[in-house]
Amino acid sequence: MQYQHDHDGIAPRPGTSPQQQIAGPDSPDLCELKNAQDALRDSDAQFKKAQEIAHLGSWELDLVRDRLTWSDEVYRIFGLQPQEFGATYEAFLEAVHPEDRARVDAAYSGSLHEGRDSYEIEHRVVRRSNGEVRVVHEKCEHFRDGTGRIVRSVGMVHDITERALAEQALRESEERFRSLAEGLPQLIYATDAQGRPVYHNARWSEYTGQPPAGRGHYLCSIHPDDVQHLRVCWNEALRTGAAFRHEHRIRSRSGAYRWFLSRAWPLRNAAGDVTRWFGTATDIDELKQTEQALERSRLGLSRLAGVSLAVMRETDLDGMLKAVSEAALALTGARIAICGHGYGSGSFVVNGAARVAGGPDCPAGSMFLLDKGGVHMALVEGAAGLRLSDEQLRAHPQWWGLPEGHVPIRGLLGVPIPGHNGQSSGMILATDKEHGEFTAEDESLLRQLATVASLALQHVQARISLEEADRRKNEFLSMLSHELRNPLAPIRNSLFILERAAPGSDQALRARKVIDRQTAHLTLLVDELLDVTRISRGMVNLQRESLDLGELLRVTLEDHRFLFESSAVELSLTLADAPLRINGDRTRVAQVIGNLLQNAAKFTPAGGRVAASLEADTRLRQAVLRVCDTGVGIGADMLPLVFEPFAQADTTLDRQQGGLGLGLALVKGLVEMHEGTVSAASPGLGEGAEFVVRLPLQPAAQ
């Protein structure tokens, strides 16, 4: 997504995601915020891809500003580009099929005028790019201001063209089938002008067991629930002389009922009077079941769209998991549902408890014996779901039973929540269905809900990461103000002394040296900030040349040796046997080495050791620079964050040592500009650390 500005603040431009609506024009352009935004964009790209796969787009209409925002999938469904769309309700109506436009406008406007909470409709749209007609299902919810006035509509657009075409094809197939069936062996009958049976063919007798030639009343074979309506329709045909058509169930000689389409046509004499009726009954049982299955599928998808909106609205993990559990109940008819967020193999953790809808909240481990590896673990660790009857559940090889006092359950339906790299990030379990066993349709709906849950989970995690990044940014700014203010006191005191001391006196010279030191310190702080900003913006131009990395390492180490000697830290250097040449910027590569050495000196106590080494990785054609120390080490929780400036800013030791903690962030940025990589490793706190820089070697031909 992108952003657009108006006089009241900041508003999303068409094509932007909610996650990108996070920064105003005055927000600090710092490295960590960019990293968080990059991660958010990755998550947003996955969300867009999922919408594309599902043909399900989302939209929002600001009624106050008449501003309409579409997701990328809505643009695809409507065949538009963002620059072609006016982003208003009227522009949307222009994309609706002309024959449907008034109906759509009346339905949406009516929902507003009548003060309803939602709006739902199916209609056609015409793609401007190629004139293609598509069929969509739209649904939205209205939101009100403090006065109860509807000010915003949030909804979804589902491209159901393929389903509509399938339904149309099904209807056409039925018509062809019925036309053909008139000449095929069917249940054929004849009546007199008053509708009394006079003939049934052999096929009728074979199916129903009734005698032919009109003996016996045909109504005795009709399902009792269909008799009354059949009578009404048949009597109406007799009264008007119009063709008769009716769908009803007919009992076979085995006692089973099947759906038939009964059609009859009048035979008239020269005067136009009806003298007889001829009819056929065509077996449409499979067709009827297909229609019923389609209707169930339509209702299921409609419910899924509704609960998906509820799930995606949640902004915290607990609320999202609870919403998914409640959605699972609504979609499957289960009495108990659990949505668990799994972290790693052999664990099932949702803030220490399973979130249960339809039953009491219970601690982790009370639904299944988690420490023994049960059915739920097979579900979380595998890619396939489980759909088991009560008998199959108890016969499952990984079923360990229920803890004492647990509520009884009947059957189980579970699907994994898709995660990264094909792994499961959690599960959705439903059990104790109200009526019958879980069906394939239930499983399909639950799988689609799992996809929605996966997207919602990614958005929640992205929001949490963004909030954490914002927190670290604020702490960093607080520390920055402290570091920039510290030199001011000695500078102010020195200026006070200079005003009163005799020029050239020892006191004046000492004051001048203090000012020089503190000014240099301030300059260093500002330079670090500028470097980080320039690197993040791609504004650093490298002055590349062929460098002997070993010689540059030796010279830089000697320049920093005083740091280690003053701190009583042993410093050693090991170089490769042959020169290792790279194509790089001498000043910036020296800055990388210097920052690593300064970092090691800062966090290695007196009596410790720091070892720098350089070697060649001939397989990868890389120069490998290592800086190892026996210092304070790095905790496992901080290892992934050591190259992020905001994260380093909140370490107590780093604050005690002074500085902004941007050195390693600069190292990472400069190394990556040289097409290299940098990594950090540490056994733990108090165990030292190792930093490894890999840079591509210059080809021998150069």
Which of the residue ranges 218-222, 282-286, 332-336, 659-663 would you say has the lowest mean pLDDT? 659-663
Q: Which residue would you say has higher pLDDT here, 135 or 32?
A: 135
Percentage of the chain lying above the pLDDT 70 cut: 75
Residue 587 corresponds to which amino acid? T
Q: Which of 283, 317, 343 is the last residue of a domain?
A: 283
Quickly list DSSP for 531-542.
HHHHHHHT-PPP
Residues 190-238 have pLDDT tens digits of 889 999 888 777 788 788 887 755 545 678 889 999 999 999 999 999 9
Are 425 and 341 in contact by the 8 Å Cβ rule? The answer is yes
Whether 470 is in a domain gets the answer: no
Whether the pLDDT of residue 430 is over 90: the answer is no
Separation CA 140–CA 143 (nearest Å):
10
Q: How is residue 659 annotated by DSSP?
A: S
Are 655 and 479 in contact by the 8 Å Cβ rule? The answer is yes
Backbone angles phi, psi at 154, to 5 degrees: -125, 125
Q: Give the model's pLDDT for residue 300.
A: 66
Q: Which range marks the domain in which residue 492 is found?
A: 486-525
Whether the pLDDT of residue 630 is over 90: the answer is yes
Whether the pLDDT of residue 510 is over 60: the answer is yes
Same domain, 549 and 690: yes
Domain count, the chain: 5
616: β partners: 623
Whether the pLDDT of residue 628 is over 70: the answer is yes
Whether 614 is in a domain gets the answer: yes
Q: Which residue would you say has higher pLDDT here, 307 or 67?
A: 67
Q: Give the model's pLDDT for residue 46.
A: 63
Same domain, 222 and 278: yes
Same domain, 671 and 608: yes
* Helix ranges restricted to H, 627-684: 645-649, 652-657, 663-673
Give, in order, the Cα–Cα distances in Å from 412 to each of 345, 379, 381, 418: 22, 11, 17, 19
Whether the pLDDT of residue 360 is over 50: the answer is no
Q: What's the mean per-residue pLDDT of the chain? A: 77
Whether 231 is in a domain gets the answer: yes
Confidence label for 402 from pLDDT (cuts 50, 70 and 90): low
Q: Give the model's pLDDT for residue 456.
A: 82
Backbone angles phi, psi at 494, to 5 degrees: -65, -40
- 392 Cβ partners below 8 Å, 6+ apart? none
Q: Give the model's pLDDT for residue 357.
A: 44
- Mean pLDDT calculated for residue range 638-667: 66
Same domain, 191 and 153: no
Percentage of the chain lying above the pLDDT 90 cut: 25
Q: Give the model's pLDDT for residue 205.
A: 79
Q: Which of 159, 184, 218 is the last residue of a domain?
A: 159
**E strand intervals along 111-243:** 118-126, 133-144, 150-159, 187-192, 197-200
Whether the pLDDT of residue 692 is over 60: the answer is yes
Most confident of 292-301, 305-314, 691-700: 691-700
Give, in order, the Cα–Cα distances in Å from 174 to each of 167, 207, 262: 10, 22, 13
Are 660 and 483 in contact by the 8 Å Cβ rule? The answer is yes
Same domain, 275 and 346: no
Same domain, 172 and 148: no
Separation CA 267–CA 265 (nearest Å):
7
Whether the pLDDT of residue 36 is over 50: the answer is yes
Q: Per residue, what are the HEC states of 209-257?
A: CCCCCCCCCHHHHECHHHHHHHHHHHHHHHHHCCCEEEEEEEECCCCCE
Q: Which residue would you say has higher pLDDT here, 277 or 416?
A: 277
Query: What pTM value is reported for the model?
Result: 0.40
Confidence label for 533 from pLDDT (cuts 50, 70 and 90): confident
Same domain, 456 and 308: yes
Q: Give the model's pLDDT for residue 371.
A: 33
Question: For the domain that residue 549 is a member of, what is the CATH number?
Answer: 3.30.565.10
Separation CA 347–CA 539 (nearest Å):
46
What's the Rg (C-alpha) of the chain? 38
Same domain, 609 and 520: no
Q: Give the model's pLDDT for residue 123.
A: 92
Whether the pLDDT of residue 650 is over 50: the answer is no
Whether 702 is in a domain gets the answer: no
Same domain, 201 and 176: yes
- Mean pLDDT calculated for residue range 435-444: 80
Whether 687 is in a domain gets the answer: yes
Whether 633 is in a domain gets the answer: yes
Whether 479 is in a domain gets the answer: no
Residues 674-687 have pLDDT tens digits of 999 999 999 989 89
Same domain, 54 and 112: yes
Q: Give the model's pLDDT for residue 190.
A: 82
Most confident of 135-149, 198-212, 498-512: 135-149
Whether the pLDDT of residue 137 is over 50: the answer is yes
Question: For the domain that residue 7 is a member of, what is the CATH number?
Answer: 3.30.450.20
Q: Which of 131, 159, 187 is the last residue of a domain?
A: 159
Confidence label for 21 from pLDDT (cuts 50, 70 and 90): very low
Q: Give the model's pLDDT for residue 327.
A: 80
Report residue 467 as tokens: 């909030």
Same domain, 339 and 307: yes
- Mean pLDDT calculated for residue range 439-465: 82
Whether 309 is in a domain gets the answer: yes
Q: Give the model's pLDDT for residue 337.
A: 76
Q: Which residue would you say has higher pLDDT here, 372 or 632?
A: 632
Separation CA 112–CA 141 (nearest Å):
11
- Mean pLDDT calculated for residue range 241-245: 94
Whether the pLDDT of residue 168 is over 70: the answer is yes
Same domain, 111 and 243: no
